Chains A and B, each alone.
Chain A
Amino acid sequence: MSKTHVTTKVNGDEVEFLCDPRETLLDVLRDRLHLTGAKEGCGTGDCGACSVTVDGRLVCSCLILGVEAEGKEIGTVEGIAEGETLHPLQQKFIEYAALQCGICTPGILVATKALLEKNPDPSESEVRYWLAGNLCRCTGYDKIIRAVMDTAAEMREAS
């Protein structure tokens, strides 16, 4: 089957790939670009483990086709830290033990980073509803919510 040539930017770097028109953006990120930080938990947009940003907008990469990445800017968990400096969310997630198995963590970090860029001072309810599309089966969300609230407070103080 003929493949489509796509040029896009991932975490600031220009990339090119050939993909089958049926491949999702998640398939392309993982299998063609070897960025395996985004995970496939369901493939139907229900779990959020594949969360990425496309032109700054939070999306499930399993619900977008790879060919749709043409000309866009994609952001994944691999692009959250700056060099050896972790993003405050990443640091707080470690400190708060906001992960147990860690499979949902990349998606939750991408999602909460998008939240804090949009709303630097969210209430607990706003964090909970924003993350309602990111399933975590280990933590009961308690330590995740606390880590996000504390990161937001610290980032507000720093800015």
Chain B
Amino acid sequence: MALDSSKTTGFKYVGTRPNRPDGLDKVTGRAKFGADAYAPGMLHAAIKRSPHAHARIVKIDTSKALAMEGVKAVVTRADFATGLEGEFGDILENVMAGEKALYDGHAVAAVAATSALIARDAIKAIEVEYEILPHVTDVDAAMQAGAPVIRADAADASVPEGLHPNVVRYYESGHGDVEAGFAEADLVVEDHFLTEATHQGYIEPHACLGTLGSDGKGELWCCTQGHWYVQKVCAACLGLETSQLRVTASEIGGGFGGKTTVFIEPVALALSRKANRPVKLVMTRSEVFRASGPTSSTSMDVKIGMKKDGTITAAQGTFRLQGGAFPGAPCEMTAMCAFAPYDLKHVHQVGYDVMSNRPKQAAYRAPGSPMAAFAVESVIDELCGQLGLDPIDTRLKNASREGTRASFGPTWPRIGLVETLEAVKAHPHYAAPLKKGQGRGISCGFWFNHGGETAVSLALSEDGSAQVAVGTPDIGGSRASMALMAAEVLGIPYEDIRVTIADTATLGYNEISHGSRVTYASGLATIKAAESAVQKLCARAAAKWGIPEDAVYWEDGYAKPSGPNAGDFEPLHIDEITATMGATGGPICGHFEATPEGAGVSFAAHIVDAEVDPETGKTSVVRYTVVQDAGKAIHPTYVEGQFQGGAAQGIGWALNEEYIYGADGRLQNAGFLDYRIPVASDLPMIDTVIVEVPNPGHPFGVRGVGETSICPPLAAIANAVSNAVGVRMRQLPMRPSRVLEALESAADG
């Protein structure tokens, strides 16, 4: 009989708020992040980068750098594997330019030296001859006839004929007849929206320490969201066997999607192989902005028809995403998320993935969804305003629920949007009066969430405590969640469990910490691993009692006979069984390896009050409430933290943050002074409401919470500002100059 600990109520540990297990390390400064590793004989590396947005590399002369005292190795593209194609080929091309530099900041060479100062001096001594080519950085301009071609033949088979070669992927879906739907509407609103590229803005720059020998064996320490992926990519870029490279994930100083790919690790390993010494490579902040993976910028058109009673009759959206110099902008996800909250008879969405001379975009928390929500939820707000409808009642009237055919095809299982919207309506914030100069905005948001390849191993110690090895880097307290779930199944205290992030040599493949998958997938795997250990504990008890294994059950840390027929035995505590496990059959461990596919989608709705200063155009967020379906909050404090963090990043995206490119194609604001993320004095407290509509695909109902929280803010804040100033805000960020322009246009009215 397989043990099944599935439940959605009656928890002892799950849902409590204990201190995180790594708390002490994090408040004393001893937690080791990417740049905190040192090795004997270690060299320091630096990367030479293109100052041009688009240029042919004619010649690289490294002789002067190599001749410098203390310089031990220089690498260029010639020091990496050849013949790579597809995903790995693109990553290598991004890690180190081949024939062309494709954006300002693209790596062209690298140096390892005995000190960081020497390495920095040495890259200045590398001479690169460029033939400058015409460039393009804007998404709409990159699609125009005559735009410079970033890379010929990069488009895949999805792209219809007749489009510019910079359009590299195309997505289209929907159902019904949108024209017929628009004809049924009492009001149709169509608008054009623009968003700028933003950066995840993790405070820890990319950092690694690599050692690689001529025997093809290597060790790599790095800050990453997924070290098995790093292992795979680095092995390909350097021509190694994957298993010969052991990768250890450091503590990670934020990622938000930006550390799901590879930028510098193959460079450190190539330098190490050449110098035969460990090499440390740390990006500067300016390099992080210029040469890691920001979001796509977008150009979007959305058209929605509505009846006077608030029924949406049809919806159509076109989403153009600028993804930098490589394919991969999330055009499908943007289009799929756009209308997901709504039950629509007629819907049609199109997405374009467009290349430009910018760094290759990377994931940023629900990639694509925040931008789509900005466009769609702005149009819904406009419709509600013009028809005099309540924004929550209107969304409730059209809300997706169990059995609804989703805008992109599937039929929704049990989802929690209606419960979320009802919680918004019941929240005191929704009915609170506004002051003069303030506006309120509402928005829904949607994210898929993800399962993915997962392996977890659990081992019991003689004293009845447990150690759990998981493969998903802990980016925001997940070790606490894993320990709570293991405690719940084993029936031992939370404090008796130690959770470790295993390296690639000690556990099977684990997909990246992305897609809000860690508490869902590693959590499910932890529960299953604990269940398999419990089954062995029960078997040991059964053997001791001389009764069948299935006549023993597990409760609250004890093996117990299942009833009077099983026999009359004193329950055996876990530590009584583990104390003698060496003599009763050997170590007791549990493990689980699978690709869980029951991830539960999640919806959120945010309420924002914004106040606009009419003299400066500066917007202040004065009140903010996040309502989101978590499925089940394993550690509610860290769930609240995810809600608050997503909202804060959304506030920055909506009001301040943007990549600014000059006419020369160079990034103008590659630092935290000019790329301004929200600081403590910019923000109010962020109120949270956790809705719990259990996900049937997880034993305890977990949906995953990390990403959905950034989906509504752009739209909610834009709606609040639009309602405050009386002008529809169609372009992000809503920086003061842009708000002033809106106020002036309203006055000219």
Contacts and interface: CB of A to CB of B under 8 A. Distances in A.
Interface of A: 20, 22-23, 27, 30-31, 34-44, 46-47, 49, 76-78, 80-81, 86, 90, 93-97, 99-106, 109, 125, 127-129, 131-146
B680 interface: yes
Given A23-B117, A47-B672, A135-B203, A80 B28 contact: yes
B229 interface: no
B239 to A, nearest CB: 32
A97 B680 CA distance: 16
A44 B285 contact: yes
Contacts of B641: 97, 100, 138-139, 143
Contacts of A146: 685
Contacts of A39: 33, 35, 203-204, 253
A143 to B, nearest CB: 6
B28 A145 contact: no
Interface string B26-57: 11111111011010000000000000000000
A129 B202 CA distance: 21
B413 interface: no
Nearest to A34: B38
Contact of A105 (B27, B32, B36): B27
Contacts of A129: 680-681
A66 to B, nearest CB: 12
A129 B117 CA distance: 35
A127 B35 CA distance: 29
Most chain A beta-carbon neighbours within 10 Å: one of B33, B205, B254: B254
B683 interface: yes
Contact of B202 (A95, A101, A128): A101
Contact of B679 (A35, A43, A76, A132): A132
B465 interface: no
Given A36-B32, A42-B672, A139-B641, A132 B680 contact: yes
Nearest to A23: B117
Nearest to B709: A140
12 contacts: A34-B38, A37-B30, A100-B642, A101-B254, A102-B25, A105-B26, A132-B680, A135-B203, A135-B677, A140-B686, A142-B683, A143-B641
- Interface of B (DSSP majority class): loop
A139 B648 CA distance: 8
Given A47-B203, A137-B201, A143-B644, A102 B251 contact: yes
Contacts of A128: 680-681, 683
B620 interface: no
Interface stretch (B16-24, B317-325, B535-543, B558-566): B16-24
Contacts of A40: 35, 205, 282
B519 interface: no
A142 B28 CA distance: 21
B242 interface: no
Contact of A36 (B22, B29, B253): B29
What 6 pairs between A and B have smallest CB-CB spacing? A37-B29, A103-B253, A140-B648, A102-B26, A94-B23, A46-B672
Contacts of B679: 131-135
A10 B680 CA distance: 29
Interface in B166-185: none
Contacts of A34: 38
B673 interface: yes
Contacts of B117: 20, 22-23
Given A37-B29, A90-B28, A143-B640, 14 more contacts: A36-B33, A37-B28, A39-B33, A39-B203, A41-B285, A49-B203, A77-B28, A100-B476, A100-B638, A103-B253, A137-B645, A138-B476, A140-B686, A142-B685
A102 B253 contact: yes
Contact of B648 (A90, A99, A131, A141): A141
- Interface size classification for chain B: 35 or more
B254 A137 contact: yes
- Interface of A (DSSP majority class): loop
Contacts of B252: 101
Contacts of A42: 285, 671-672
Interface of B: 17, 19-20, 22-33, 35-36, 38, 115-117, 200-205, 251-256, 282, 284-285, 475-477, 637-638, 640-642, 644-645, 647-649, 671-673, 677-683, 685-686
A138 to B, nearest CB: 5
A97 to B, nearest CB: 4
A95 B680 contact: no
A86 B29 contact: no
Contacts of B673: 44, 46
Nearest to A86: B27
A47 B321 CA distance: 30
A138 B645 contact: yes
B24 A94 contact: yes
B19 A94 contact: yes
A37 B681 CA distance: 25
Contact of A101 (B38, B475, B677): B475
Contacts of A43: 284-285
Contacts of A46: 285, 671-673
Contacts of A134: 679-680
Nearest to A138: B645
A34 B35 CA distance: 12
Most chain B beta-carbon neighbours within 10 Å: one of A47, A81, A97: A97
A101 B680 contact: no
Contacts of B205: 40-41
B637 A97 contact: yes
A125 B685 CA distance: 11
Nearest to A127: B680
A20 B645 CA distance: 40
A129 B681 CA distance: 5
A103 B203 contact: yes
Nearest to B29: A37
A45 B370 CA distance: 31
Nearest to A93: B27
Nearest to B120: A22
Contacts of B23: 93-94, 99
Most chain B beta-carbon neighbours within 10 Å: one of A30, A36, A133, A137: A137
Nearest to B285: A42
A77 B31 CA distance: 12
Contacts of B30: 37, 78
Nearest to A36: B36
B475 A90 contact: no
A52 to B, nearest CB: 11
Contacts of A127: 680
A131 B204 contact: no
B28 A139 contact: no
Contacts of A131: 679-681
Contacts of A44: 285, 671-673
B24 A142 contact: no
Given A41-B204, A140-B648, A99 B285 contact: no
Contacts of B115: 20
Nearest to B17: A97
B20 A97 contact: yes
Nearest to A144: B680
A31 to B, nearest CB: 8
